[in-house]
Structure 1
Amino acid sequence: MTDVPKNLKNPVTEISMNSLFFSFFCEKWYNGTRRLILRAADLFPRIGIQTFHAKKSTLIRINFRRCFQDWDVPHLMIFLRANRDVVSINLAYNNIHSAGFINLVDYIIAYKHVLELNVQNNDISGPGIEHLCKDGEKLPLKTLRLNGNKFGAECAKKVALFLLKNSHLRYLDVAEVDQTASSLVYFTTVMRWDQDEYNQTLRILDLSRPNTGHMYVLDTAHLANVIGCMLRFNRCLVELHLQKYSFSCHDIEVMLEDMKYNKTLQLLDLSSNNIGDHGMDHIANWLKTGPALTGLLLAHNIITDHGARALSFAMPFSKMKMLDLSHNKLEDIGVMDILNSIKKSTLLRYLRIFGNSMGHCTAKIVDRMLVSGVLVQENIDVKPYAKDHKWNLAYYPSDHYKQRYYNVPRYAFPQPLKIPYVENKMAGKAAPKVNFKYVDPVPLEERRPKVQKNHPFSCICCECRADDVLNSLAPSTTNIIPEVCTCSTCEQTLEANKLGTFQSDVTLVPRPLCSCNQDDCACCYCLPCKGKNEDLPLWERDRHPINCNCCKCGTQEVEYASSSISTKSNELHDYPDGVDQLQKIALILERVDSEMREHIVRWINMNEETLDSDLAMLYADKSEMNEEKQKDRACYYQRRVVPKLTSSEDCKELHRQGQESYDLPECESSSSVFIACHELSCGNDLTN
């Protein structure tokens, strides 16, 4: 088999389920634990039986590929008993029945080191669920995913009652298990805190995709009422998923009558329903009250521009950080209303708008917001591009929610066996503001870090904006007012403007003072003796004398070999302490255009060759100016003086006075120009 070492195959050509085999499917995490992932898509091409069939004196090899079966559970238990650091087991999309599930539950209760179990889309039926609920109080699991197992409504009721006995479970997924309205009422009842017995530890509940059976229809109004009552009296749920309930606008209105009193719900998933503009009006009115909701998923509904506009009016008053409006009936006007409401003060981190009718206007606004930093490309599912002077939007694969929820591999083919290591992406960062299940956490400092005291961004007068993207709340002003400056940046800017006080056309910017390196003079560059400096190569640093006092760290003047410019060391103390001279130069370069930036860099790196070229350029410019000046004088005579001349004597007298007053040269060209101008005006012949 491909990607399977030879020592994993036993003599009868069947893959051995030993410890080495299971180790290749484990992910090692930063906290020292491991996650065992045995998805069917990864196991199917790697395990099976190879047999040979004889046909007409020819051996034909036949591969019987298979998934994880019930008889593989004992091998898995042997591996888990020897590796107690495995805390999570993922057996999605396999062929496990109730017998294998019962053995697995018994092991988890006995050894208690497995905290997460995922058996979605298997063949677990009633006996396995009954055995799970019988010893529910002893089960140490914190995550249990049973979605996709068609065990029916009666077993779903037992799972709901199992929540009353278990105090460890935090995440329960019972979506698509053929539930009916009666079993759903059991879940809403055990989560109401106004009952005598209730669950107070569950944080995430997924009741999506119920199945009422043939020729039965859900009473959505009744379900909306009981779900609203549950949320009114519940104080522990953080995420609630209600997909494919066929909720209408009226059902949303009924649900919000009681749900508006909830103070803990942070994520509400209403995807794949029949919510329209009227329902969006009620949701917008609820968001204006400032609930704790930070994530709203409304994909695959029938929302139009009117509903988007109502939502845009409510977003500035809400705590929304994640919004999904993909695959609705929005057009440019509705999407533009949503985008225009995402100002710099809003906390929105994730935005999903793909699947709507969006054109040039929306794409241009998205591109502008990506450039300005209001949105981040990794947190939006569309990417703008221009073609034929028209902007369009393409799908950008930033939404990993469904991929992780359904346990879909990232690649369509099995990857080589390896032991990956999962690092802690939040190490050294602030607590994430978006931390939902199957959603990438978003820390605070990546977009809007807290402005520290005496930081340039906290000053109301400075024009220093080195990184406006990181601090979008920074005020924008172009005037410098040193009187109200609190960060001393204005003083640095004013001092930087005084750099050109030397009596020369060439200004050399000195290096900053470093009092910690005054003994060995390693902080500066000494041109007369080619002293030790970090910019010098290693073989030239040792030639600098230890007792050198000719650089700016000493008390004598700095003498530059490339020019006669000199300055005293005490003049360098005019700049504020603690600011590197390179930083000053960088601040100056950021405030000028590209042409002036090139000139400044050229002047700083001035040498004799550059100086000669500049002088030659100045001489050439001066010659061109003299020629232009002569042409301007000739034109002046033609327009103003020559038309007033009436005789040749006046012309000769004016020509004589012009040579004395305007210093006109006695040359053939100037005289010919003067004569031609006069002949054009009065017709007198001055050739003789």
Structure 2
Amino acid sequence: MISTSSLSPAELYLKACRQTGVVPVSYILRHFGDATLNLNYYGLGPRGAKALAILLKSHSVVTPLELKKNALQAEGAQYLLEMLRTNRRIQSLNLSSNMLGLKGATVISKMLSDNFYIKSINLSGNDFDDSAAKCLAEALKTDSAVKELDLSHNQFCNAGEDLGVMLANNISIKVLDLSWNGLRMPGAVALIAGLKVNSTLKELQLSHNGFGRTEAQSLAQALKLNHTLVLLDLSSNRVDDEAVKVICQGLATNKTLEVLKLSYNPIRKVGALTLLRTVKNNMKSALKDIDVFVSAAPEHLRVCSCVRALWSCRKKSLEAALPCVSNIAQWPMSPQTWLPPGSLRSSLKSKIKASWISSRLWTKKEP
């Protein structure tokens, strides 16, 4: 047991390192007085985490603690848990890519059950499976402190039911990232069921999952009933024109969503037109940005470049824009000749050209 009463932070840390048998990290000695302690990629390991925990338990100066890719594992997370029981200054915690697994998820759940101070926690890339999700969701149901939660790049598949129940009960989370998981079919539908009754979530990241036609119906219902969500990211899923039609049933009455990301989905001319017309007809729609960019056929380039550029304009301009989109099959590849006429042309010219150039770069031919 280390006596800490008369030791400076540097002396305490060096003594903790000798006790745990690890090489001291010079960055900690140089920057411990900083408001943010960025220890990403330092490879601390469990014993290095123990030495750090001893220091932070006695000296509470850090607010955000960055520990990405340090191979902490469940053992290192346990040392941090013990430290956080006394250190009430840390409000942001990055534990991404630390090989936590199910055992680590159990430790984090205990941390969240006793949490009154951590507002942001990043648990991305920790090999969490459905069992880990169930464990975390149970703790988050009653948590009232965490506002930003990153669970991306994990291995969730059928965890949607547990995460959906968590969403239905949680009253604090405003930003939730579930991208790069395996959520689809019943799991995805169950997750969105929680969104229907949630009253705090503002941003939901669901890119690189399996949302398609089956899940679109639940999404449409959620967009009808939810009154807080402002950003929905469905990039790189399986949303096609038919799925877009169903989602538009929710967009037709939604008053709060401001950003809808649908890039890298199999959406073609019909889907793009449906999106524009639906939101144009919803006079109370708050949508400011629709992203349906895909790198595919020339028709896709013309559809998606136009939609992205047009959506930076006000809805009053859509009256002139829709005829242009309707004749999309005849658009040439140069942006100079398919701009709509009149004042809309001058207001869109630079934006469409920039988007067109970006599209061309993205579709550069393979050598």
What range is the shorter-chain TM-score in? 0.7 to 0.9
CA distance in 1 between partners of 2:109 and 2:255 (Å): 35
Question: What are the equivalent positions in structure 2 for 1:509-548 lying under 5 Å apart?
Answer: none
CA distance in 2 between partners of 1:177 and 1:383 (Å): 32
Matched, 1:35 2:36: yes
Inter-CA distance 100–224: structure 2 relative to 1 (3 Å threshold)? closer
Aligned to 1:92: 68
CA distance in 1 between partners of 2:149 and 2:244 (Å): 28
AA partner of residue 165 (structure 1): T
Matched, 1:176 2:153: yes
| Partner residue of 1:129 out of 105, 111, 121 | 105
Aligned to 2:121: 144
AA partner of residue 361 (structure 1): P
CA distance in 1 between partners of 2:229 and 2:360 (Å): 33
Aligned to 1:361: 335
Identity of matched residues, %: 22
Residues 92 and 121, structure 1, Cα contact 8 Å, conserved in 2: yes
Question: What are the equivalent positions in structure 2 for 1:169-568 lying under 5 Å apart?
Answer: 169-181=146-158, 183-192=159-168, 198-211=169-182, 220=185, 222-316=186-280, 317=282, 318-327=285-294, 329=296, 330-333=300-303, 335-336=305-306, 339-340=309-310, 342-344=312-314, 359-361=333-335, 382=354, 394=361
How far apart are 1:371 and its partner, in Å? Answer: 10
AA partner of residue 36 (structure 2): R
AA partner of residue 155 (structure 2): D
Name the count of aligned residue pairs. 321
Q: What SS does the aligned partner of 1:323 have?
A: strand
Question: What are the equivalent positions in structure 2 for 1:110-121 lying under 5 Å apart?
Answer: 110-121=86-97
CA distance in 1 between partners of 2:84 and 2:143 (Å): 14
User: Structure 1 unaligned runs (5+)?
Assistant: 1-13, 29-33, 44-66, 193-197, 212-217, 348-356, 386-390, 396-688
Residues 246 and 273, structure 1, Cα contact 8 Å, conserved in 2: yes
Aligned to 2:322: none
CA distance in 1 between partners of 2:332 and 2:93 (Å): 42
CA distance in 2 between partners of 1:137 and 1:116 (Å): 16
How far apart are 1:157 and its partner, in Å? Answer: 0.7
Aligned to 2:5: none
CA distance in 1 between partners of 2:345 and 2:70 (Å): 45
Inter-CA distance 125–104: structure 2 relative to 1 (3 Å threshold)? same
TM-score (norm 2): 0.74
How far apart are 1:189 and its partner, in Å? Answer: 1.3
Question: More relative contact order in 1 or in 2 (CA 8 Å, sep 6+)?
Answer: 2
Residues 193 and 218, structure 2, Cα contact 8 Å, conserved in 1: no
How far apart are 1:239 and its partner, in Å? Answer: 1.4
CA distance in 2 between partners of 1:15 and 1:117 (Å): 23
CA distance in 2 between partners of 1:191 and 1:160 (Å): 9
How far apart are 1:376 and its partner, in Å? Answer: 8.6
Q: What SS does the aligned partner of 1:160 have?
A: helix
Q: What SS does the aligned partner of 1:111 have?
A: coil
**Alpha-carbon deviations, 1:621-643, whole Å to 9, x = none?**
xxxxxxxxxxxxxxxxxxxxxxx
Residues 335 and 362, structure 1, Cα contact 8 Å, conserved in 2: no
CA distance in 1 between partners of 2:160 and 2:346 (Å): 46
Residues 382 and 394, structure 1, Cα contact 8 Å, conserved in 2: no
Inter-CA distance 358–236: structure 2 relative to 1 (3 Å threshold)? farther
Aligned to 1:23: 31
Residues 224 and 251, structure 1, Cα contact 8 Å, conserved in 2: yes
Inter-CA distance 335–283: structure 2 relative to 1 (3 Å threshold)? farther
CA distance in 1 between partners of 2:291 and 2:92 (Å): 28
Inter-CA distance 159–338: structure 2 relative to 1 (3 Å threshold)? closer
Q: What SS does the aligned partner of 1:331 have?
A: helix
How far apart are 1:341 and its partner, in Å? Answer: 5.6
Residues 335 and 358, structure 1, Cα contact 8 Å, conserved in 2: no
How far apart are 1:112 and its partner, in Å? Answer: 0.9
How far apart are 1:145 and its partner, in Å? Answer: 1.3
Inter-CA distance 80–365: structure 2 relative to 1 (3 Å threshold)? farther
Which protein shows a greater Rg?
1
How far apart are 1:372 and its partner, in Å? Answer: 5.6
**Alpha-carbon deviations, 1:372-394, whole Å to 9, x = none?**
666997xx994667xxxxx9855
AA partner of residue 88 (structure 2): K
Residues 95 and 122, structure 2, Cα contact 8 Å, conserved in 1: yes
Aligned to 1:64: none
AA partner of residue 360 (structure 1): S
Inter-CA distance 250–383: structure 2 relative to 1 (3 Å threshold)? closer
CA distance in 1 between partners of 2:243 and 2:233 (Å): 14
| Partner residue of 2:137 out of 144, 147, 160 | 160
How far apart are 1:290 and its partner, in Å? Answer: 3.8
Aligned to 2:52: 76
Inter-CA distance 264–187: structure 2 relative to 1 (3 Å threshold)? same
Greater shift, 253-262 or 273-282, is seen at 253-262
CA distance in 1 between partners of 2:347 and 2:62 (Å): 41
CA distance in 2 between partners of 1:328 and 1:284 (Å): 23
Residues 384 and 393, structure 1, Cα contact 8 Å, conserved in 2: yes
CA distance in 2 between partners of 1:80 and 1:364 (Å): 61
CA distance in 2 between partners of 1:376 and 1:17 (Å): 50
Residues 175 and 210, structure 1, Cα contact 8 Å, conserved in 2: yes
Inter-CA distance 284–80: structure 2 relative to 1 (3 Å threshold)? same
Q: What is the CA RMSD across the aligned residues, in angstroms?
A: 3.7
Aligned to 1:553: none
Residues 163 and 199, structure 1, Cα contact 8 Å, conserved in 2: yes
How far apart are 1:288 and its partner, in Å? Answer: 3.1
TM-score (norm 1): 0.42
Inter-CA distance 101–365: structure 2 relative to 1 (3 Å threshold)? farther
Residues 315 and 341, structure 1, Cα contact 8 Å, conserved in 2: no
Select the structure that is richer in helix.
Answer: 2
CA distance in 2 between partners of 1:165 and 1:75 (Å): 31
User: Structure 2 unaligned runs (5+)?
Assistant: 1-21, 318-330, 363-367
How far apart are 1:363 and its partner, in Å? Answer: 9.3
CA distance in 2 between partners of 1:274 and 1:358 (Å): 28
Inter-CA distance 320–374: structure 2 relative to 1 (3 Å threshold)? farther
